[in-house]
Amino acid sequence: MFRTASLLACLSIFLTCAVLTPTLASAQYFGRNKVQYDHFDFKHFETEHFIIYYYPEEEQAVRDAGRMAERWYSRHSRTYLREFKEKKPLIFYANDADFHQTNVIGGLIGEGTGGVTESIKQRVIMPLTGSYAETDHVLGHELVHSFQYDIGLSDQDPIRFNLALLPLWMIEGTAEYLSVGRSDPHTAMWLRDALLRDDLPTIEQLTRDQRYFPYRFGQAYMAYIGGKYGDAAVANLFKLAGRAGVDSAFVYTLGITTDSLSTEWKQVIRKTYEPFMEDKAPPEESGQRILAPEIDGGEVNLSPALSPDGEYIAFLSERDLFSINLFVANAKTGEVISSLKNPAANPHMDALRFIQSAGSWSPDGRQLAFVSFAGGDNRISIFDVRRRRVRQNIAVEGVTALTNLAWSPDGSSIAFTGLEGGISDLYVLNLETDAVRQLTNDRFADLQPDWSPDGRYIAFTTDRGEGLTDFDQLEYQKKGLALFDLERNEIRPLRPFGNVLHHNPQFSPDGDDLYFISDQNGFKDVYRLNLSSGEVYRLTNLATGVSGITALSPAMSVADRTGQMSFSVFSDNAYTVYLREPDELTGEAVQPQPAGHVATAGVLPPIRSLNEGLVGNYLNDAMTGLPSLGLQWPGKEYQSNLQLDYVAPPTIGVAAGGLYGTQVAGGIGFAFSDMLGDRNLYLVAQAQGTFKDIGGQASYIDLGRRINLGASAGHIPLLYGYSVGGFVGGAQVVEQLRQRIFIDQVSGIAQYPFSQTRRAEANAGFVRYGFDNEVEQFVGSGFTFGRNRVDTDDSIFFQGITEQEPIYFFQAGLAFVGDYSFNGFTSPISGGRYRLEIAPKIGSSTFVTGLVDYRQYLYIQPVTLAVRGMHIGNYGAESTGDLFTTQYLGYSYYPGFVRGYNFRSFEASECLADANIPGRGAVCSSMDRLQGTHVALSSVEVRVPFLGTEQLGLIPFPYLPTELAAFVDGGVAWTEEDLPVLKFDRTTNERVPVFSVGMSARVNILGYIVLETYYAFPFQRPDAGWQLGFRVTPGW
C-alpha cells in the first residue's frame, strides 16, 4: 500500500514549480537577446525556380541576385541531374547588420556566417556583401545546400536518405567546390601550410578531428575527386553517402576506399606543391615576429594597424578565448598594453566587425577608429588608447553598414566603404561637421580606402576598370587597385598584374609608392608599386601567404610617418603578425605575367585546364542559364501567413478492457511560422488515462518588432493514482484512487531588448487549479471482477479523502535581465549575469514575489572563479503552510538548491535526534530550516575544464567535455514570523544558515544534456556525512 504522504509530497513539488513557471520561466530566465532594431518592409517576386524576399532599398541588387540564382540553378541542376518540384524561398538582407536581426534563424548570428540554408522550409537566408562577385559566390554555395536538402528530404526515393550520415567536410566542401572551382589560391595556401607541417588530413581525420577546417580541406578533396573522376562523381558520391554511408559510397562510386584515396590525395598534394615551394621562404623568415600564439597567446591575430609613429600596433584577436576583441600592443615586443572592454559585454555595442575591416589611427596616434555593431547598424567607434575607453560612437547618416576605415592625414575626416542597398561605395565623413561626401555611386565594389600623405588621393580596392566587369552578363573581374583624385573627382585604375587579385593598398610615407597584396603567382605576397615608373617589387616570398581570414581580409599596414610595415601570415594553422623596418621594404623587381596566364600554384590538384569538366565549363560560361535583362518579375506585398513547419512525432497508446477499462495515452504537437520567422504558433495536445484527461496548450509569439509579444492558453490535466486491495466480507476488493489536477491558464508576455545583453520583461495572466477525486471499485473473485465508480464517502479504503476547493491566481511580473556571460561546454566561464524581478499574485493567496539573482565569472585561464548570490522572497505570505508561497533549499532542481541537503537524502534518524534537543520542538528541524517564505543563497565555485578542446581543456578530448569544480554553498530560509538565527552552528535545531563544501563533475553528453555529479559535505547535518548526488542541469 502506497502512503498518502508520498503523493502529497509529489503534489507539493508540482504545485510549487507550476506557480513559479509563469513568473520565472515565462521568458528565458537568462540568455542573450536577438534584437529587431529595424522593421523591414518585405516584398517578394518570383522567378522560374525561386520566390525571392527583399525590401525596397536593396531592390536593384536583389533583382541582379535573382538572375544569379537562376544561373546557379541551371549549373547545379546539371550537376545533380535534378529539378526542383516547387520554388525555393530566398531571403536577402541589404547587409550583415540587417542579417543579424533575422528571425528565420534562431539564436545569435556571428559575423563569420555569410549565409544559411535551413531545412524546415528550405530557405536560403543571406546578406548582400557589397561585392557582386562575393554575393554570387555565397549564393552559389548556399544553393548547393538547397539541392542537398532537396535530395536529402525528398520522400520520393525508395531508400531513405539520412543527412546525419554525411560529415560536414563533404557537405561544405562540395558547396565550396561547386561554387568556386579548383582555381583558389586561398585554399591552396591552407594546403601548403598543412604540407609544411606534414599534417594533411585523411578523410577519417577530417571527419572526426575538429582541428581540420571542413570548408578548405573538404573543397580540396572534392576538387580532387571532380578532377580525377569527373564532376558527376561529386554529386553521385553525395547521393549515395546519404544512404549507404561515406565509406561505402567511396567504394561503390569511385571504386576506392577512403583510406586509399586519402593516401593518394596526400601524395598528389605533395607532388604538386613542393616544386613551387622550393624557392620560397618559410613563414618564420618573414620578419620580426611580434604577435604569435607563443608570444601573446592568440592563434588568430588579424587586421594589424601600425600607429603613425610605428610604436604601437592595433590588432584583432581571440586571445581572451571567447570572442574577437581589439588590442593595442607594443610594436617592437608584442606586449599588449591596452584592450577594448569586451564588446559583447558592452551595453552600447554588440560586436566588432573583424573579417573585412581593420582599425585606423588618428594622425597624432592617440585615438583608434574601428567599426562596431550597435543599434542594428554599423558605427564608427573612437577608442582612446591611453584612457582605454571608447570615447565616441558615430552613426553615419544615410549609411547603415560600413567597413574599412581610413583616418585622413590632417585628422579632420575618415574615409570608409559604405553599403547601401547591398552595393558598396566610398564615402568621407567630416568629423567636425558630420557631413558625408559620397565619392562613388555605382555597382562596382569599392573597398579598403587609404589616404595619400598629402590628402589628395585615396587608394582603394575595386573590380572596376578595363571593361572586364559586365553587370548585364554578371561577369566580374578580379579585384584590382585604383586611385581616387579628390580634387578632380577622377578614378585611375591600377592593375600591374592584370586580372588577378590586388588588394589592401597602403601608401608609403612619401607617397611615391603603393604597397599591396596580390596572388598573381598563386602565392599571396606583399608588393610595392612605384607610382611614377610603374615598376613592381615583391617584398615577401612566402611558402604559405600573407592573409587574413578570407582572401580579401585586410592583412597589411604601414606606419604613416616612419614607414614600418606589419602584416599577418597564415602559418602553422594560425595567423601570426610580423614587422619589417623601412630598409627591409626594397624588394626584388618582378614582371607581370602574360594575359591569360594561370598561376598553377593557386590551383587545387589535379592540375589541368580550368575549362575542363562540368564545373570548369560553367564557371567560365556566364551566359548559360542567365535570365535576360528584359524579364519582368513584378514585386508583391509580403503576406505573413502561417505555414506548418513540422509535426512532433505523434505517440498514442490504447488499453481496452482489463481490470481498469479503456484508457488512452499519447500526444502530438504542431509548429507553425511565417516565411520570415516573425510569427510563431505552437499547438500541443496530450492524453493520459481516460478521455477525461485530454489536455492541450497553444502558444503564440510575435518577434517581428523591437517589442516581442506572446500569449498562451492551455488546459492541462495531471493524473496521479494508486490502488489498494484486500478481502472484505469474503470478497476480493480492489479500489483505485485517481486524483487529478486541472491547470487552466491564460497569459501574455512582452519583452523589450535594449541590446544583446540587456532586456526588460513583463507578463500577466490568470491560472486556475481545479481538483478531482475518482474511485474505481472492483469486486469479485478469481478472474471475474465487477466494476463500479463510487464516491470517496462510499469507498472502503479511501473514506475521508475530500476534494480540495479550486485555487486561482491573477498574476503579473516585471523583470530586468542582463547576460554578458560566455559559456563553456557545461557552464558559464566568463562574464556575468543578473536578474531582478517582482511578481505580485492576487487570488487564493495574495503576496508579492521578489527575486534578485546575480552571478559573476572571473576567467583566469584555465580556471574560472564563479560567484553567485540569490534571494527569493514571497512578501506578504503568512507561513510555509501554503504550497504556493513556500521556497525551498532542499530540492535539487530548485534555483536555491544547496548541495548536500536534498530532501530525499534525509534519514529518519536525523529527525528523531532533533526531538531530544530543547528548542522549538520541531518534528524535523533539519528539514524545516530548509523551507520558508524567503530564501537567500550564495555559492562559490572554482571550475576547471578537465576534458575538452585544446583551447578549453586540460586534456584534449572533445568527445566527452568534462568540468571539475570545488564548491562552497550556503543558504538560509525563513518566514516573517520565524526569522533566522545568523550563526554557524552544526548541532542546533534553530533556523540557522546551512553550508556545504564539496566537489562536482559536470559532463556534456553528446551536446544535448549536462549531467552533474557532486559529492558534498553538509555541515548542518552532523550525522549524515558526505552526500553523493546527481542532477541533469548545466552549471549555474
Residue 470: partners with Cβ closer than 8 Å, 6 or more residues away? 476, 622
> 135 is written with which cell numbers?
554575393
Of 930, 934, 894, 888, the residue nearest 1020 (C-alpha): 930
Instruction: Give 782's pLDDT tier (boundaries 50, 70, 90).
Output: low
Residues 365 and 507 in one domain: yes
Query: Does residue 22 have a pLDDT over 50?
Result: no
- Of 567, 587, 607, the domain-final residue: 587
Is residue 687 included in any domain, yes or no? no
Query: Does residue 893 have a pLDDT over 90?
Result: no
Residues 144 and 233 in one domain: no
Mean pLDDT check: name the lowest of 109-118, 608-617, 786-795, 1014-1023.
Answer: 786-795
Of 916, 920, 909, 903, the residue nearest 994 (C-alpha): 903
Residues 395 and 482 in one domain: yes
Residues 541 and 476 in one domain: yes
Query: Does residue 5 have a pLDDT over 80?
Result: no
Instruction: Give 324's pLDDT tier (boundaries 50, 70, 90).
Output: confident
Q: Is the dihedral of CA 172, 173, 178, 179 positive or negative?
A: positive
Q: What is the CATH number of the domain that holds 59?
A: 3.40.30.160
Residues 236 and 337 in one domain: no
Residue 733: predicted pLDDT: 84
d(C-alpha 573, C-alpha 282), whole Å: 14
Is residue 937 included in any domain, yes or no? yes
Query: Does residue 21 have a pLDDT over 50?
Result: no
d(C-alpha 687, C-alpha 983), whole Å: 51
> 811 is written with which cell numbers?
498574476
Instruction: Give 779's pLDDT tier (boundaries 50, 70, 90).
Output: confident
Residues 118 and 239 in one domain: no
3-state secondary structure of 611: coil
Other residues' Cβ atoms within 10 Å of the Cβ of residue 491: 19
Instruction: Give 156's pLDDT tier (boundaries 50, 70, 90).
Output: low
Residues 518 and 620 in one domain: no
Tens digits of per-residue pLDDT, 129-150?
A: 999 999 999 999 999 999 999 9
Residue 794: partners with Cβ closer than 8 Å, 6 or more residues away? none
Share of the chain above pLDDT 70, in %: 92
Is residue 618 included in any domain, yes or no? yes
Tens digits of per-residue pLDDT, 49-66?
A: 999 999 999 999 999 999
**What is the DSSP-derived secondary structure letter of residue 19?**
H
Q: How many CA atoms lie within 13 A of 474 on its CB side?
A: 28
Tens digits of per-residue pLDDT, 349-391?
A: 556 666 888 899 999 999 999 999 888 889 999 999 988 889 9
Mean pLDDT value across residues 814-836: 95
Q: Which domain holds residue 230?
A: 162-279+598-631
Tens digits of per-residue pLDDT, 410-456?
A: 999 999 999 999 999 999 999 999 999 999 999 999 999 999 999 99
Q: Locate all alpha helices (DSSP H) within 230-300, ordered by sequence.
A: 231-244, 246-254, 258-277, 293-296
Mean pLDDT value across residues 469-483: 95
Residues 296 and 265 in one domain: no
Is residue 17 included in any domain, yes or no? no
d(C-alpha 599, C-alpha 965), whole Å: 55
Which of 135-139, 341-345, 604-608 has maximum average pLDDT?
A: 135-139
The residue type of 753 is P
Is residue 481 included in any domain, yes or no? yes
Instruction: Give 895's pLDDT tier (boundaries 50, 70, 90).
Output: confident
Residues 78 and 166 in one domain: no
Backbone angles phi, psi at 459, to 5 degrees: -85, 145
3-state secondary structure of 733: strand
Residue 14: predicted pLDDT: 34
Tens digits of per-residue pLDDT, 925-945?
A: 888 899 999 999 999 999 999
Spacing of C-alpha 422 from chain mean position: 24
Residue 963: predicted pLDDT: 97
d(C-alpha 396, C-alpha 435), whole Å: 9
d(C-alpha 476, C-alpha 499), whole Å: 10
Tens digits of per-residue pLDDT, 243-292?
A: 999 999 999 999 999 999 999 999 999 999 999 999 999 988 899 999 99
Q: What is the CATH number of the domain that holds 406?
A: 2.120.10.30
Strand partners, 85: none
Strand partners, 590: 536
Residue 785: predicted pLDDT: 67
Is residue 1016 included in any domain, yes or no? yes
Is residue 262 included in any domain, yes or no? yes
Instruction: Give 1007's pLDDT tier (boundaries 50, 70, 90).
Output: confident
Residues 256 and 359 in one domain: no
Is residue 528 included in any domain, yes or no? yes
Query: Does residue 898 have a pLDDT over 80?
Result: yes
- Of 100, 122, 156, the domain-final residue: 156
Residues 613 and 563 in one domain: no
Residues 275 and 337 in one domain: no
Q: What angle do CA 195, 172, 255 make, to 5 degrees?
A: 75
What are the CA-CA distances from residue 56 to residues 41, 43, 84, 635, 817 (Å)? 7, 8, 28, 10, 35
- Of 553, 587, 621, the domain-final residue: 587
Number of independent structural domains in the chain: 4
Q: Specify whether the CB–CB gap between 1019 and 996 falls below 8 A.
A: yes
Instruction: Give 596's pLDDT tier (boundaries 50, 70, 90).
Output: low
pTM score, whole prediction:
0.90
Residue 882: is it exposed, middle or buried by C-beta count within 10 angstroms (0-12/13-18/19+)? middle
Strand partners, 390: 383
